[in-house]
Each structure stands twice: as C-alpha cells, then as structure tokens.
Structure 1
Amino acid sequence: MRCPFCAHDDSQVKDSRPTEDSTSIRRRRQCTSCGARFTTFERVQLREVTIVKSGDRREPFERSKLEHSVSLACRKRDVAQEQIDQLVSGIQRQVETSGEAEVPSSRIGELVMDGLRQLDTVAYIRFASVYRDFSEARDFEEFASTVQEAAKGDGGNG
C-alpha cells in the first residue's frame, strides 16, 4: 500500500479489525520509509459494475462517490456515520448482487432515495432536490408536501 505522506510503495499492517457493521476491515498501517501511520479499509467487491449515466456515458461504480452524496445529504443532521455506512453498504450490495454488469444511475438514485426516506426526512428532501433537479422554491414545496403526507400515513420519521 502506497504511503499517502511520502508515496513509498511499502507499508506494514500494525492492526486489523472489522468495522462495526462487519462490511469491511479497518487496517492501521505504518510506512516502512517515513514511519507515518495511516488507516485503510478493505471491502469485498463482488463484481465490476458499470454505471450508465445520462447521455449513455459509462463509468465504473465507485462506492466513495455514493458515500459522498449520501454524506452531503445528511450533513448537519442527526445521522450517525455508522447509519450512512450501512445505507451505502446496502446499496452497494444490491448493485453488485443484481446480476447486471451495467446499472442505470437512476436506479442507484432511487435506492438512495428509498434509504434516505427511512433514515431522515430532511436528508431525503436534500438528496431529492439535486437528484430530481429542483429549479424553483415551488418544486421544494410540492415535494415536501408529498413527503409530509406520506409521513402522516406511516407514523412519521426524521
């Protein structure tokens, strides 16, 4: 593993342990050249998946992009990092086990929306505003009112 401080190609694993949700292994490493310590995470990747974006562009699925989007939606909300990790891991698992080599980005967007709707209403609306490309305040109002109506029907959340 390349050192992020000095770019040396060799490091030693000093400690390994599973993460709380047991979907990855956290490794503490030490560079054999400069002695700096850093953390890496190892996750199972079941298959290579290509995301089909708008305009038929294709790019490899990247968990970090998904995690970043969900984290932005949950920013300054009472959502624990562990909950975000579980949501992202669940979506990643669904994508990788779907049997499809190519998955439309819209499918991933819907999976994120479903997960955020259950996790935090404000994060759900934030994500939807970007995903559905809200352009006016009226778009927010209409969407928020449908969310409120749905929350009344299921006992409320977030």
Structure 2
Amino acid sequence: MFLSALDGFVASHSDVTLKPLEVDLVGQLPPKLRVYLYNATYPPGGRGMGEHKIQLIVPGQARNERGNFNSSGGRIPLLVGYRPDIKVFVLWDAEMYPDFAYSRNVQVLPETIYEAFAQGLGRQIRRLGSGQAEVVIAAEARQLSDAILERQKETLKRLFGAQG
C-alpha cells in the first residue's frame, strides 16, 4: 500500500518482501528513503483507550539487543505505521529513536489517526521521556506524499532549532 499511495512519485524500489523497503522518489519528495513500515495496532489495556502503537524491531535485531535505523548510503530512514482498515499512515521522527530496545512501543493518539481519516492529515505533539517534543504526522493514503514532506520539514526544524 505504501508504494501505491505514492503512485507517480516512485522511480524505483527494492524487493517489497525485504525489510526495510528502499524507495527512490522523484519530484519534491526526498530522493532516497529507507522505509521501516509497521502495522499500527490498538490493543486494549495498558495505554489510553484507542491509542495506536507500533513495535520497533529492525532486521537482524535479536531479543535483548539494541536497534538503530540505518541511514547509510544517503538514505533517509522513515518510520511509518499503517492502519490498513482505514488506510491511514503515521510518520514518526526516526532520528528521535536511537539505540532502542527490542520491540519498543511507539504511540500515537487515536484523535490523530481519526483526524487524518476525516481530513486527510493529522498532527500530534508528543513529549518523549527525554523531554524532547516530537511532531507525529498521520495521513490518509492519498496524502502520503504531503505527509512525507511535512515529516521532512518537521525533522529539519528540529535539527536546526526552529520552533513551531
């Protein structure tokens, strides 16, 4: 679904059965992505009602090992959750999750998911345990390219110290 949502922007991609997915894009989108795509689930209990989560595990990461997203070869790691029943993608700031534990949870509020479903895009500011603020972006599939641009913009703002 990720590739079809970017129809017209994909120049090439790696084997879709391998993870992470490497995607070369055209137009205004970042040219080289390494996509870490997870199912966004909303299991009962443990967290707020309806809160969605993904569980971070990267290829080759064993239990009790730390994981990192690979940015080699000039590829930008893109951390994505997907809820297939309503075709909504969630984009977190991958660089804010260095050296993570096996199966680490990353969350998004249900309001953010439903805002994207109803209006095309949704945004949430999350406070991480480090005290940093992360902007999470959710998008209906037809607006995935816009969400990728927003994700890139928010990451650059964080890196260069811009507010808002």
Relative CO higher for 1 or 2, CA cutoff 8 Å, sep ≥ 6?
Answer: 2
Structure number with the higher helix fraction is 1
Q: Which has the larger radius of gyration?
A: 1
TM-score normalised by length of structure 2: 0.26
TM-score normalised by length of structure 1: 0.26
Structure number with the higher strand fraction is 2
